[in-house]
Structure 1
């Protein structure tokens, strides 16, 4: 199997669950509002949007784990966002983004691919550690297409049906948590549509 656990929706689900549970722990209330959901989602996708574009699209780095995946960059950015958000009385938005961003790095560290010899340190300490170049060169769209094609081909084979069912459980749980939270973002969207 490839590195399927690091798909964008995996980062989004993981980040939302961490933020929701943290928010509930601190405030005793579920998170609310479209802005909060969008901040978490943007934070969870930012490292790949930056680093995959710089590597796969612009070929500035040998791998898709560089600047935005480095804790040497992510920690100061997260603290800066929290500081600015606090100064503007938007702490929850800053916290949502920061938890989303840092959860992406945590997810990558937890699920580093052992069979390819990659450790969490290899992915998180750019520029101190850099990964070797990819074995093949392709365009940004070509690489994205390849990843999604491999994912779908692997998931659609009979021997992976049980794996697919197990793989889907965390996403189902994240979705159920979002429902329990009151589907933050949806009531706001409905109010906007009715105006």
Structure 2
């Protein structure tokens, strides 16, 4: 889910930034670059698959390490002389998305974590049924709300929410980078 990629990317970036600089992340452009990087693979590949039907799966071009590594290095190189922090944030976000997808594939039977990351060397089989962007979003939303109403699912949702709440707390400890900048601008 988009929020999972955003939270995982922010966690890695914030902890890495603190480790290197001993400061919390700062700046709205850095946070936007990080957020954009965490969503880019799905924005590209899900659109190409679900929307345009150019690929049989939502894991292709932008999820491939054969594309992501050169793109990340290109962005790092392009921002090296100016806003290096923006390039690092974008690249951490982008690469964390791939790492997150690989980690999520580990417990699945018959799926190698690298399968999603090696396009065009590995091409995943088509979905079992025709997938459209609107249909997929409707299915996810209806499944989510349909299952959340049971007691067991509410307990699961509470446990599922804990990592997100911890990342949210980290974001607050970091000074709410991105949002805090805009709030300070309104006070001026």
Common fold: TM-score over 0.5: yes
Question: What is the TM-score with the length of structure 2 in the denominator?
Answer: 0.95
Question: What is the TM-score with the length of structure 1 in the denominator?
Answer: 0.92
Aligned residues: 188
Q: For the aligned residues, what is the CA RMSD?
A: 1.3
Task: Pick one of 44, 48, 54 that aligns with 2:48.
Answer: 54
- Counterpart of 1:139 in structure 2 is 132
- Counterpart of 2:59 in structure 1 is 65
Structure 2: segments with no counterpart, 5+ residues: none
Task: Pick one of 9, 33, 44 that aligns with 2:38.
Answer: 44
CA shift digits 1:90-148 (9 cap, x unpaired): 11000000000000000000011644522211100000001100111132111111122
- Counterpart of 2:122 in structure 1 is 129
Task: Pick one of 5, 8, 11 that aligns with 1:17.
Answer: 11
CA shift digits 1:50-83 (9 cap, x unpaired): 0000000000000000000000100000000000
- Counterpart of 1:177 in structure 2 is 170
Q: Distance in 1 between matches of 2:148 and 2:112?
A: 25
Residues 47 and 90 (structure 1 numbering): CA distance in 2 closer, same or farther, change over 3 Å? same
Q: Distance in 2 between matches of 1:152 and 1:127?
A: 36
Residues 140 and 73 (structure 1 numbering): CA distance in 2 closer, same or farther, change over 3 Å? same
Structure 1: segments with no counterpart, 5+ residues: 1-6
Indicate whether 1:101 and 2:87 are aligned.
no
